[in-house]
């Protein structure tokens, strides 16, 4: 069964999101959430938001109207922070609320009172070093949860890397070295990497030293050198053996971070490695490094969020496509759009939050806006790439690992998660026709490399060929593949509908992902623009996480809200923005490295000659 169409409008919550509503109070919002829970038959108390976060229910008609243009994570976050502080917020969204983070039910697959099979743009992944979005989730009421939807995050026990039929397990929790110093960390990395068979010792020594060199790099080198250096060049990828390149380099970039080592910059990849390491050692208050949701994203995160925001008085207009921004007298006076029927419409507000992806933001920034804020011209230099999901539904469980799985060395940089083992609901009883019991949710991160079945890139393949190729690459890496994932248990499949024209010269991706290329930080703007009533809330905005993620978009939404609070003269408390943890043991090394960098010296742990141990 080739199930790959968009969800229909019969889903109650999605249908509800398409209309507009009257303004409600916070208390009404909580009641609405409880009513929604009762309608779905889920028992449990709905906790109220913390009093300290529900800043003000007092609304002023003048100077408080906010138009949020885009309903992804960044837009919803900005709406959340502003609505809790008494602003009158309307969100305009082109497709579906939640953006790339949303669920995409597979239309027509449900039967016998069950919901449609759950699809998605790509599997949800909440590394333990995410801090801002879990805090937002803790303020979204969910029945039976004391910490709202944040309690719907569950930890994977281990991460499995499969390479040529061999399993390699990555630690997801560990005891820190007795002395948390670069020397101790270097020994730690060498020790755990020694278990990787077929990787030459010199590759391990080089890679371990490069990781530690980044960890011991001060802020001056990180921004001045590593931001402008490609990750492949940083780790000396061209000096490694094929096994070293695949296991040490591709494992982290192409699979776990969904980036190409030849494109990503060293600072971004280093920050992710640093965050992963601190989460593994449970430092800085970080959670388990591998976290995911205990149900479909809409059910356990997005839909409760939308219900809560409606209760705060947020109005949602879905099916609205923003087509332009009008600058007059130095401020944005209106936004033009097309409504659900395609008819032109005008959006007017006091404050505008542009929360659409970069490829959609650039065409909206006309000449007058670029003259008013020249920094926005640099958005055209940012690059996007493809990372989209393929769902494989099976008639038997596929518990490959209780965590994420990376299929190392496969050309399409394939990763997966077996979802049913983490979900509260019985999969077969809740979704589909009752015969599908699991979903192997797969991310394809390289759409430009020839595959192993047809010798074609993913862009060149039909949908069926994409699925066949994904299965072939998983099986080529997976131990005991014939037993674990035979053809006989394949029920159906789903390919992200953002991919269109597949297998033809007109193939396109409606939802690509921002790539952190070298120097990209200099192209990225702050949330506050030079136009006093225009703010940005998307994953291309500068953030501490420095990667196109839900966490980055959430931080951008908080920053945009804070900008409006300042510009409007509001006395409400600003939204908190949490930075990445900085181990105090590393600060002396960073101070020394700042001096070395200014003097033109390399980091003291950076191996120049990869042969030297």
Residue 141 inside a domain? The answer is no
Instruction: Label residue 60 by pLDDT band (50, 70, 90).
Output: very low
Residue 167 inside a domain? The answer is no
One domain for residues 360 and 394: no
In this predicted model, which residue has the larger pLDDT, 48 or 355? 355
Residue 455 inside a domain? The answer is yes
Q: Which tens digit of pLDDT belongs to each residue from 269-289?
A: 999 999 988 998 888 999 988
Domain that includes residue 363, residue range: 63-103+296-381+517-574
One domain for residues 364 and 467: no
Instruction: Label residue 54 by pLDDT band (50, 70, 90).
Output: very low
The CATH number covering residue 306 comes to 3.50.50.60
Instruction: Label residue 5 by pLDDT band (50, 70, 90).
Output: very low
| Cβ atoms of 57 and 80 closer than 8 Å | no
Which residues make Cβ contacts (< 8 Å) with residue 6, sequence separation at least 6?
104, 107, 497
Residue 149 inside a domain? The answer is no
Lowest mean pLDDT among 238-242, 247-251, 347-351: 247-251
pLDDT of residue 17: 37
pLDDT of residue 114: 98
How many beta carbons lie within 10 A of that of residue 35, not counting itself? 11
One domain for residues 187 and 284: yes
- Kindly tell me the burial class for residue 176, based on how many C-beta atoms sit within 10 Å of its own C-beta (0-12, 13-18, 19 or more): middle
One domain for residues 205 and 300: no
One domain for residues 179 and 282: yes
One domain for residues 180 and 279: yes
Share of the chain above pLDDT 90, in %: 74
pLDDT of residue 172: 64
Q: What is the mean pLDDT of residues 230-250?
A: 91
Q: Which tens digit of pLDDT belongs to each residue from 440-476?
A: 999 999 999 999 999 999 999 999 999 999 999 999 9
One domain for residues 281 and 303: no
| Cβ atoms of 359 and 94 closer than 8 Å | no
pTM over 0.85: yes
One domain for residues 230 and 311: no
Residue 565 inside a domain? The answer is yes
Domain end: 509, 534, 554, which one?
A: 509
Residue 43 inside a domain? The answer is no
pLDDT of residue 35: 38
One domain for residues 542 and 452: no
Count of structural domains, the chain: 3
The CATH number covering residue 463 comes to 3.30.9
pLDDT of residue 271: 95
Dist. CA 34–CA 316, nearest whole Å: 20
């Amino acid at each position: 069964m080739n199930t790959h169409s968009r969800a229909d409008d019969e889903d109650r919550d999605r249908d509800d999101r398409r209309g507009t509503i009257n303004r409600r109070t916070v208390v009404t919002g909580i009641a609405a959430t409880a009513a929604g829970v009762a309608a779905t038959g889920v028992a449990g108390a709905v906790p109220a938001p913390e009093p300290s976060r529900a800043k003000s229910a007092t609304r002023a008609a003048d100077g408080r109207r906010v138009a949020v243009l885009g309903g992804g994570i960044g837009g919803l976050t900005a709406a959340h922070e502003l609505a809790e502080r008494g602003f009158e917020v309307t969100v305009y969204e082109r497709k579906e609320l939640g953006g790339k983070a949303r669920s995409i039910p597979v239309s027509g697959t449900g039967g016998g009172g069950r919901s449609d099979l759950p699809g998605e743009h790509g599997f949800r992944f909440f590394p333990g070093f995410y801090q801002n979005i879990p805090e937002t989730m803790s303020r979204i009421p969910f029945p039976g949860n004391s910490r709202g939807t944040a309690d719907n995050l569950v930890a994977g026990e281990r991460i499995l890397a499969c390479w040529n039929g061999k399993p390699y397990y990555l630690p997801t929790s560990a005891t820190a070295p007795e002395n948390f110093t670069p020397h101790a960390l270097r020994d730690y990395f060498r020790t755990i990497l020694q278990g990787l068979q077929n990787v030459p010792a010199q590759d391990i020594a080089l890679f371990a030293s490069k990781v530690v060199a980044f960890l011991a790099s001060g802020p001056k080198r990180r921004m001045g050198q590593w931001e402008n250096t490609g990750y492949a060049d940083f780790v000396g990828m061209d000096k490694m053996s094929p096994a070293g390149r695949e296991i040490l380099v591709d494992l982290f970039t192409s699979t776990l971070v969904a980036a190409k080592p030849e494109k990503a910059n060293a600072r971004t990849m280093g920050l992710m490695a640093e965050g992963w390491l601190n989460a593994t050692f449970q430092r800085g208050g970080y959670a388990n490094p591998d976290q995911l949701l205990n149900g479909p994203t809409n059910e356990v995160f997005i839909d409760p969020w939308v219900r809560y925001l409606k209760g705060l008085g947020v109005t949602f207009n879905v099916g609205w496509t923003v087509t332009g921004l009008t600058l007059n007298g130095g401020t944005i006076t209106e936004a033009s759009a097309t409504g659900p029927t395609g008819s032109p419409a005008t959006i007017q507000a006091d404050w505008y939050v542009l929360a659409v992806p970069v490829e959609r933001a650039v065409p909206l920034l006309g000449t007058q806006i670029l003259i008013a804020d020249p920094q926005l011209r640099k958005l055209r230099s940012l690059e996007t790439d493809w990372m989209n999901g393929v769902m494989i539904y099976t008639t038997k469980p596929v518990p490959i690992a209780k965590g994420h799985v990376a299929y190392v060395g496969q050309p399409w940089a394939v990763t997966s998660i077996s979802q049913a083992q983490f979900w509260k609901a019985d999969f077969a009883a809740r979704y589909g026709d009752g015969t599908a019991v699991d979903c192997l949710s797969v991310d394809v991160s390289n759409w430009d490399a020839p595959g192993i079945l047809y010798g074609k890139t993913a862009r060149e393949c039909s949908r069926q060929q994409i699925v066949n190729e994904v299965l072939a690459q998983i099986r080529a890496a997976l131990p005991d593949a014939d037993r674990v994932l035979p053809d006989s248990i394949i029920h159906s499949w789903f390919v992200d509908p953002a991919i269109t024209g597949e297998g033809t010269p007109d193939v396109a991706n409606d939802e690509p992902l921002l790539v952190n290329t070298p120097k990209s930080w200099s192209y990225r703007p702050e949330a506050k623009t030079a136009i006093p009533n225009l703010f940005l809330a998307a994953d291309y905005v500068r953030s501490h996480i420095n990667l196109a993620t839900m966490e980055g978009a959430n931080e951008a939404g908080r920053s945009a809200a804070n900008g409006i609070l300042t510009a409007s003269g509001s006395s409400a408390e600003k939204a908190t923005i949490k930075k990445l943890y900085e181990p105090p043991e590393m600060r002396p090394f960073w101070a020394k490295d700042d001096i070395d960098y200014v003097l033109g010296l390399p980091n003291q742990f950076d191996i120049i000659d990869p042969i030297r141990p």
